[in-house]
Chains A and B, each alone.
Chain A
């Protein structure tokens, strides 16, 4: 497989770009693997990559029911940040951000990670105090954080509604190292790098049943035949409960909700940062892609759903929020909107943990945070599978945390999955 470099771009340019090889193989599934990861989304692919890279393991497969990057990997707003306050989350997402910072080099694939700053608008002295507390706590463990006054904000982001906003903007809490990345490139980069280390990525291979004997999973029935496995990892956020029940278990502290995202027609450079607006019931985040489209999103659709399509009231709410802080978008046309199915957990935090089945490991419950988490999620999930014990950093990302009373509720919203946006 070619290593991508300036030289390979030059050489292939001379031959009309006709001699690029495949980026990854398309293998037939083997009868048996040591480790099978279900779900070739960002988390599953990253897990397979780090299993091979960090732990030197071989004979790994990743099963995908559709195509690479066709699930939630392609249904997000590509924001990467680590401005979390709770212990565990803080260390976990900061580790993820550090992996993002070197990801293109690590994978030899340009994931177009752009550290363009994440700006949370503030609208009141109370919000400023809360942000100061949150960001000071972040700085204690080495995450960068700044508070901007209005003059700085106006200079950096000139197009916001500073004149007649219903909730006047008074400043912002900023993480400069945060930014965006190209979602498809992340999936392709991890797939290609994992494949080069010998991982079999098997697309169009849907798990239809799970065969258990003596408390262990023996094999997975798939649309491409039966596949035996010694260790199995589930990384199918959105459908975790379904697979969980297929494996013969009952309930999870998770509900599936849909979250919409939107992209406008391409515009000339307008917004150089990720801007977040959340006050008075609004919840809105926006950035501009490298192609020029304004990429933005808001709240969940507010009812449980497995349908990958959004409802219109949320389109209206999100567009209202857009116009209220960026009135210059008023005549911009919406190009496309989509909905992804989120694993909304009972405290808004994920699970990377062992399960009641001894050779099954669970990676689930990513709520709104799945995209930015994917490198660290794969890193720690691989560590869990390889060593059969959770890394101390993610010990509390367990299914037992609710009965132990150690909920990781970043928003303090309580045990109602739809409130953890």
Chain B
């Protein structure tokens, strides 16, 4: 069982979360070229090692998180809110 330290709820089992996907994927502008959309929707680096990925705390606070996890050892290196503004506020409030 992977344990994810949710910045809102504390450390919880991964069974409370739903895996999203590769957090490095950025969707292009709506009027971007077909090639750019193709790459964003279909192509993946499929990292073996540390990757940033999204998880949804669906059976908890329902917030989306960005988790840095090793895809071989499952060790988690960092967790933050996926929303940049919220992540910044949490960071500023920490002593």
Binding site for B on A (CB under 8 A): 239, 241-242, 245, 250-256, 302-307, 311-313, 346, 402-403, 415-418
In the complex, the 4 A-B pairs of residues with the closest C-beta atoms, listed nearest first: A241-B46, A303-B19, A251-B43, A402-B42
Picked from B13, B19, B45, the residue with its CB within 8 Å of the CB of A241 is: B45
Residue B30 interfacial (CB < 8 Å):
no
Residue B83 interfacial (CB < 8 Å):
no
Contact check, B15 vs A313: say whether CB atoms are below 8 A apart.
yes
User: Which residues of A are found within 8 Å of B18, using beta-carbon distances?
Assistant: 302
Of the A-B pairs whose beta carbons lie under 8 Å apart in the complex, a sample of 14, sorted by A's number, is: A239-B48, A251-B44, A256-B71, A302-B18, A303-B53, A304-B19, A306-B48, A307-B74, A313-B13, A402-B38, A402-B42, A403-B34, A415-B42, A417-B44
Contact check, A255 vs B48: say whether CB atoms are below 8 A apart.
no
By secondary structure, the B interface counts as mixed
Binding site for A on B (CB under 8 A): 1-2, 13-15, 18-19, 21-22, 34-35, 38-39, 41-46, 48, 51, 53, 55, 71-74
- With A306-B48, A311-B1, A402-B38 as known contacts, state yes or no: A416 contacts B74, CB within 8 Å: no
User: Which residues of A are found within 8 Å of B44, using beta-carbon distances?
Assistant: 241, 251-255, 417
Q: How far is the CB of A142 from chain B (nearest CB, A)?
A: 33
User: Which residues of B are found within 8 Å of A256, using beta-carbon distances?
Assistant: 46, 48, 71
User: Which residues of B are found within 8 Å of A245, using beta-carbon distances?
Assistant: 45
Contact check, A416 vs B45: say whether CB atoms are below 8 A apart.
no
Considering the chains assembled together, what is the distance between the CA atoms of A305 and B43 in angstroms?
17
Contact check, B14 vs A311: say whether CB atoms are below 8 A apart.
yes
User: Which residues of B are found within 8 Å of A403, using beta-carbon distances?
Assistant: 34-35, 38
Contact check, A304 vs B15: say whether CB atoms are below 8 A apart.
no
Contact check, A305 vs B42: say whether CB atoms are below 8 A apart.
no
User: Which residues of B are found within 8 Å of A251, using beta-carbon distances?
Assistant: 39, 43-46
By secondary structure, the A interface counts as mixed
Picked from A254, A304, A313, the residue with its CB within 8 Å of the CB of B53 is: A304
Q: How far is the CB of B19 from chain A (nearest CB, A)?
A: 4
Best-buried of B19, B22, B42, B72 by chain A (most CB within 10 Å): B42
User: Which residues of A are found within 8 Å of B15, using beta-carbon distances?
Assistant: 313
Contact check, A250 vs B19: say whether CB atoms are below 8 A apart.
no
Q: How far is the CB of A181 from chain B (nearest CB, A)?
A: 30
- With A242-B48, A253-B44 as known contacts, state yes or no: A312 contacts B34, CB within 8 Å: no
User: Which residues of A are found within 8 Å of B74, using beta-carbon distances?
Assistant: 305, 307
Considering the chains assembled together, what is the distance between the CA atoms of A255 and B1 in angstroms?
21
User: Which residues of B are found within 8 Å of A303, using beta-carbon distances?
Assistant: 2, 14, 19, 53, 55
Considering the chains assembled together, what is the distance between the CA atoms of A250 and B74 in angstroms?
23
Best-buried of B13, B14, B46 by chain A (most CB within 10 Å): B46
Considering the chains assembled together, what is the distance between the CA atoms of A416 and B54 in angstroms?
13
Picked from B41, B43, B71, the residue with its CB within 8 Å of the CB of A306 is: B71
User: Which residues of B are found within 8 Å of A241, using beta-carbon distances?
Assistant: 44-46, 48
Considering the chains assembled together, what is the distance between the CA atoms of A393 and B13 in angstroms?
46
Best-buried of A255, A312, A417 by chain B (most CB within 10 Å): A255
Contact check, B43 vs A252: say whether CB atoms are below 8 A apart.
yes
Q: How far is the CB of A362 from chain B (nearest CB, A)?
A: 14
Q: How far is the CB of B15 from chain A (nearest CB, A)?
A: 4
Contact check, A415 vs B41: say whether CB atoms are below 8 A apart.
yes
Q: How far is the CB of A239 from chain B (nearest CB, A)?
A: 8
Closest chain B residue, CB of each to CB of A312:
B1
Considering the chains assembled together, what is the distance between the CA atoms of A417 and B35 in angstroms?
20
Q: How far is the CB of B79 from chain A (nearest CB, A)?
A: 14
User: Which residues of B are found within 8 Å of A415, using beta-carbon distances?
Assistant: 41-42
Contact check, B71 vs A313: say whether CB atoms are below 8 A apart.
no
